[in-house]
Structure 1
Amino acid sequence: MPDLAAIVIHCRDPYLLAPFWSTVTGLPVVEEDRAKIADRSLEPDESVLLRDPAGRRPDVWISPVADLPGPGRIHLDLVGDAEERAAVLEAGATVVRELPRWTVLADPEGNEFCLLPRGEAHGDTLLPGH
C-alpha cells in the first residue's frame, strides 16, 4: 500500500488556518512560510507547509483556493486528552456536536474534524458520511 505523504487542507485564508492547524497538529510551519505569514507576503495561490522536523508524520499543506467545495474539503480524526481538547478550543475550534465516543469540532473556516479520547477508535460505529 502507498504511504501517506501529505494532507492538504483547502481554505480561504491561509493566514488564519496555517497557525490554527500548526497549533492543533503540533506541526510547525516551515521557516520560509513562517516569515511569509508574519509579513503577509504569500503569493495569491501559495500554500503553507507544516512539517514534522523528525519526519515521522505526514506533511500538512494549507492551500488557498478561489472556490471552496462544500463540506468534506477535509476530515481529520485526531486523538487527544482533555488538556489537548482545551488547547484546540483555545486555538479557535468550535464544538459542532458531542457524540458518545468522540467530539466533532470545526476549524475557524468550518472544516469539521473529530477529536477522540486517547485509546479510543471509531471501530464499526461510524456515522453515515464519516
Structure 2
Amino acid sequence: MPDLAAIVIHCRDPYLLAPFWSAVTGLPIVEEDQVKLAERSLGPAEAVLLRDPSGHRPDLWISPAIDLPLPGRIHLDLVGDAEERAAVLEAGATVVRELPRWTVLADPEGNEFCLLPAAEVHGPPVPGH
C-alpha cells in the first residue's frame, strides 16, 4: 500500500487557517511560509505547508480555493483529551455537536472535524464514521 504523504485542506483564507491548523495539529508552518504569512505575500493560489520536522507525520497543506461548499472538503479525525480539546477551542474551533463517543467541531471557516478520546481510537469500530 502507498504511504500517506500529505493532507490538503482547501480554504478561502490561508492566512486564517494555516495558523489555526498549525495550533491544532502541532505541525509547524515551514519557515518560508511563516515569512509569507507575516508579510501577507502569498500568491493567489499559493498553499502553506505545515511539516513535522521529524518526518513521522504526513505534511498538511493549507491551499486556497475559490469555490468551496460549507462545510468544506475535509474531514479529519483527531484524538485528544480534555486539555487538548480546550486548546483546540481556544485556537478558534467551535463545537458543532456532541455525540456519545466523540465531538464534531468546526474550524474558523466551517470545515468540520471530529475529536475522539483515545479510548475510541483503540475501541470497537465506529459505524458510519
**TM-score when normalising by structure 2:** 0.94
Shift of 1:72: 5.1
* Residues 48 and 63, structure 2, Cα contact 8 Å, conserved in 1: yes
Structure 1, unpaired ranges of 5+: none
1:68 correspondence with 2:68: yes
Alignment match, 2:43: 43
CA–CA distance in structure 2, aligned partners of residues 42 and 72 of structure 1: 21
* Residues 11 and 72, structure 2, Cα contact 8 Å, conserved in 1: no
Alignment match, 1:126: 127
Alignment match, 1:18: 18
- Cα RMSD between the aligned structures? 1.3
Output one character per residue of 1:72-101: Cα deviation in whole Å (capped at 9) or x when no partner.
Answer: 500000000100000000000000000111
Alignment match, 1:85: 85
Shift of 1:68: 1.1
Shift of 1:71: 3.4
One-letter amino acid matched to 1:124: P
Output one character per residue of 1:2-33: Cα deviation in whole Å (capped at 9) or x when no partner.
Answer: 10000000000000000000000000000000
**How many residues get paired?**
128
CA–CA distance in structure 1, aligned partners of residues 93 and 38 of structure 2: 21
Structure 2, unpaired ranges of 5+: none
Alignment match, 2:110: 110
CA–CA distance in structure 1, aligned partners of residues 73 and 11 of structure 2: 9
Shift of 1:66: 1.2
Shift of 1:126: 3.0
CA–CA distance in structure 2, aligned partners of residues 91 and 123 of structure 1: 30
Runs of 4+ in 1 over 4 A off after TM superposition: none
| Identity between Structure 1 and Structure 2 (%) | 81
1:31 correspondence with 2:28: no
